[in-house]
Amino acid sequence: MSKPKWSFHNIQLKNKMLIMYFFAVFIPIVLTNVIFYIVTIENVKKQQMQDSKLALQQINREFKTIIDEAVGISSSLYTNLNLNLFLEKDYTSDIEYIEKHNSFLRNFNQSRPINPSINSIRFFTDNPTIIYSGGVYSIGSLEHELKHFKDILKNSNGSQILIDTPSNQNFETFSIIRNLDYFYNDKQKFVKVEINPAAIEDIFTNVTFKGEVYLLNEKGEIEYTTNPSIKQLEKPIDFNQIEKENKLVTISSSLNNGSYLSDWSVVGTIYEETMLKTVNKSKLFIILLALINFLAPTIIIVIISRSFLTRLQRVLRNVKRMKNQDFELIHDQEYQDEIGQLTSEFNRMTKKIKDLINDVLLVNIQKKDLEIKRNRAQLSALQSQINPHFLFNALETIRMRSLMKDEIETAKIIHNMAKIFRNSLTWGKDFVPIRDEINLITSFLEIQKYRFGDKLDYEIMVGKDAEECMIPNMALLPFIENASIHGIEPLKECGKITVSISLHAGTITCVMKDNGPGISEEKRKKIVSSLENEEDIRENVGIKNVYYRLKLYYHDQFYFNIDSQLDYGTTITIQLPSQLDSSITSNSDKNLYFIK
C-alpha cells in the first residue's frame, strides 16, 4: 500500500503542537493586542482632537471677549460729547487747559470702572492748544507708532476700528484705535485702548491645549503666537511658510466677530506624540498584559505537551532499540493515562521477549562453549607436539658458556631474549600486572641498547601504587618497538625513549615518548582514521592489534592518543581504568575519542 505524498498524520506530534500553539494562541493574541492598541490610539486621538478643539474654542471666545470689551470702551468714548468738546476746544492759555484737564479728564479716569484686561487708554489730537501729557498725545506720536497711519486717515470714518497688533510694534500688545469724529471734524482726534499683554498671554497659554497657538489675520499672517522661535520675529510671517513636521496636527477655529475681526482665526498645532502621550504611558501596561496572555497559555501548553511528548519519545526510543537487540525496560512511574498504560504494556512485552531470547541464547552459549573447549583441546594437543623447552635449554646453555668466557654483556642479552621468547609462548594470560609488562619492556630495550650502543638511552618511571594494576598482556610493548625502530634507529645519536606510568583517581595513565624524527600531521591523521577500519590491518599491525584488544576489553572506557611533531618525536598516551567494569557492554553506538 503506497504512502500519500503529504498527510497531516505524517507530521510529528511536537510540530503539531507548535502549529496548534501558533494558530490557537500566538496569532490570536498578537492580533487581539495589535487591534486593541490601534483602536485605543484612534480613540485617544479622537478624544485629544475634541479636547484640543474645545480648548481652541475657549481661547477664541476669551480673545473675542477681551477685544469686544476694548471695542465697547472705544465706542463709549466715541459717543461721549464732553470728551469731544474737551479735545476740540481751543484753549486761550495753558492754565485754562490744565483746569479743564483736572476737572474733566482726571475725574473721568478716576470714575472709569477698573478693567484688568485694559492696560491703558490714550488720546491723540492735533489741537495745538493742548499740552501733550497726562494721557493726551499728539497725532505725530501715533504716526510714529503706526507706519500705515496715513492710509488709515484717508479711509477713516466713525465705523472703522483699527486693531493695532504686535507685528506693528516691538512689544506684544493689542490696541483698539478709533477716530473720534462723531460730533466734530474740525480737529483730528483718536482714542487708543491698549489691552493688557498679561491678559492676552493668559488667554493663549491655555494649559488644556498641549501645543502651539497662532492668531492669524485676514491675510493668514501670524499676529500672535506662543511659539517662542516665531515670537522673536519683528516682521509678520505667513503661517503657511512655517516648516511643519509630518506628525504635526493642525486645528483651526474662526473668530468671525464682525468687521474688525473678519476672516481672523485661531490655529493650534500639536504633535501626534504629545496627543498619544497617555497611550505611550500605558504601552508598558499593554505589553505586560500581552506577556501575561502569552505566558499563561504557553506554560500550560508546555506542561501538557511535555506530559505526553516526553514519555511518548521515551517509548519510541526503546522501540527503536529493540531492532538492535537492546531490550531495556522503561523505568518510570506507572501512570494511569493512556501513555502510562502503553509504557506498562511495552515493559511487559519487552520482558517476555527478553526472557525468550535468554532461553534461546543459553542453549546456544552451551553449544558454543562445548565447541570452544573442543577446539582448545585440539590446539593444546597440537602445541604439545612442538615442545619449546629445548629452545630455552639451548639459550640457557649459550648464556652459561658466555658467562664462563666472561662475556657478561652477551649473556645478559641472551637472558633478555629468553624472557621475551618465553612470554610469547605463554600467551594464555589476557591480563598481567604492570610490573611484568615493564620487565618485558626492559628486556626489549636492553636488547635494542645492545644493538644501537650509545645512540639509545631509555628511562622508565612507574608509580609504586600502579605496579600491581592489571593491564592487557603486551599492551605497551608494540609501541616501544615502534619507538625503537621508527624513532631511534633513523637518528645518528642521542636517542631516548621515556616510559611513564602513574595511577590517579582510579585511572592508569601510560605515556610512551621518543625524541625521533616524528611523523607529519597528515600521516598521524591517516593512522588515527585507519583504526576505525577493523577489516584492513595490513599497515600498522602492532598499533591496530593493541587498539582492537583495548576496544574489546574496555569498549569506550579507555583513552588513546597519538601526538607527533616533525623533528620533535612522537608521544603515545593511553588511559585505562584500574578496575575492569563488569557493566561495560559492546554497544557499537558509543564513541572513542582521539585527541591531538
In this structure, how many other beta carbons lie within 10 angstroms of the beta carbon of residue 300?
Answer: 11
Q: How far apart are CA 8 and CA 111, in angstroms?
A: 97
Domain identity same for 77 and 186 = yes
Amino acid letter for position 6: W
Domain identity same for 365 and 472 = no
Q: How many domains does the chain have?
A: 3
| Distance between start and end Cα atoms, the chain | 52
H-helix segments, 101-191: 106-111, 139-145, 149-154
Domain identity same for 567 and 432 = yes
Domain identity same for 376 and 436 = no
DSSP 413-457: HHHHHHHHHHHHH-TT-SEEEHHHHHHHHHHHHHHHHHHHGGGEE
- Is 110 within a domain? yes
- Is 491 within a domain? yes
Q: How far apart are CA 13 and CA 63, in angstroms?
A: 73
- Is 42 within a domain? no
Domain identity same for 345 and 435 = no
Domain identity same for 446 and 357 = no
Q: Give the model's pLDDT for residue 165.
A: 66
Rounded to 5°, the CA angle 258-263-268 comes to 120
CATH number at residue 71: 3.30.450
Q: Give the model's pLDDT for residue 493.
A: 83
CA torsion, points 366, 369, 371, 373, in degrees to nearest 10? -140
Q: Enter the C-alpha cell of residue 129.
A: 492748544
Domain identity same for 481 and 551 = yes
Q: Exposed/middle/buried for 368, CB within 10 Å: 0-12, 13-18, 19+?
A: exposed
Domain identity same for 170 and 98 = yes
Q: What's the Rg (C-alpha) of the chain?
A: 57
Rounded to 5°, the CA angle 444-449-450 comes to 100
Element (H, E) at 213: strand 212-216
Per the CB < 8 A criterion, the answer to whether 163 and 260 are in contact is: yes
- Is 77 within a domain? yes
Closest CA to 204 of 177, 174, 232, 167: 174
Domain identity same for 456 and 358 = no
**What are the backbone dihedrals phi and psi of residue 225, each rounded to the nearest 5 degrees, phi first?**
-155, 155
Q: How far apart are CA 527 and CA 479, in angstroms?
A: 14
Per the CB < 8 A criterion, the answer to whether 209 and 195 are in contact is: no
Domain stops at, among 165, 199, 233: 199
- Is 145 within a domain? yes
499 SS3 class? strand
Q: Enter the C-alpha cell of residue 102.
A: 483736572
Q: How far apart are CA 394 and CA 19, in angstroms?
A: 85
Q: What is the 8-class DSSP label of residue 23?
A: I
Model confidence, pTM = 0.47
User: Which residue in the block uniquely carries the three cell numbers 629452545?
Assistant: 391
Element (H, E) at 52: helix 27-78
Closest CA to 171 of 243, 242, 132, 120: 120
What's the number of CA atoms in the CB half-sphere (13 Å) around residue 431?
Answer: 12
**What are the backbone dihedrals phi and psi of residue 576, each rounded to the nearest 5 degrees, phi first?**
-130, 150
Domain identity same for 432 and 500 = yes
Q: Give the model's pLDDT for residue 373.
A: 55
- Is 460 within a domain? yes
Per the CB < 8 A criterion, the answer to whether 270 and 207 are in contact is: no
Q: How far apart are CA 414 and CA 398, in angstroms?
A: 8
Rounded to 5°, the CA angle 167-172-175 comes to 80
H-helix segments, 216-276: 228-231, 272-275
Residues of the chain below pLDDT 70: 1-9, 109-113, 145-162, 164-172, 207, 231-235, 245-247, 256-260, 278-279, 281-282, 325, 327, 332-334, 336, 366, 369-429, 534-539, 580-596
- Beta strand pairing call for 569-577 and 559-565: antiparallel
Domain identity same for 435 and 557 = yes
Element (H, E) at 13: helix 13-21
Q: Enter the C-alpha cell of residue 75.
A: 465706542
Domain range for 558: 428-577
**What are the backbone dihedrals phi and psi of residue 349, each rounded to the nearest 5 degrees, phi first?**
-65, -45
Task: List, in order, residues 6 or more apart from 422 with CB less than 8 Å away.
Answer: 392
CATH number at residue 520: 3.30.565.10
- Is 138 within a domain? yes
- Is 180 within a domain? yes
User: Which residue in the block uniquely carries the three cell numbers 531470547?
Assistant: 357
Q: What is the 8-class DSSP label of residue 322?
A: G
**What are the backbone dihedrals phi and psi of residue 130, each rounded to the nearest 5 degrees, phi first?**
-95, 140
Domain identity same for 358 and 469 = no
**Distance, CA of 258 to chain centre:** 65
Domain stops at, among 199, 234, 265: 199
Per the CB < 8 A criterion, the answer to whether 318 and 330 are in contact is: yes
What's the number of CA atoms in the CB half-sphere (13 Å) around residue 245?
Answer: 7
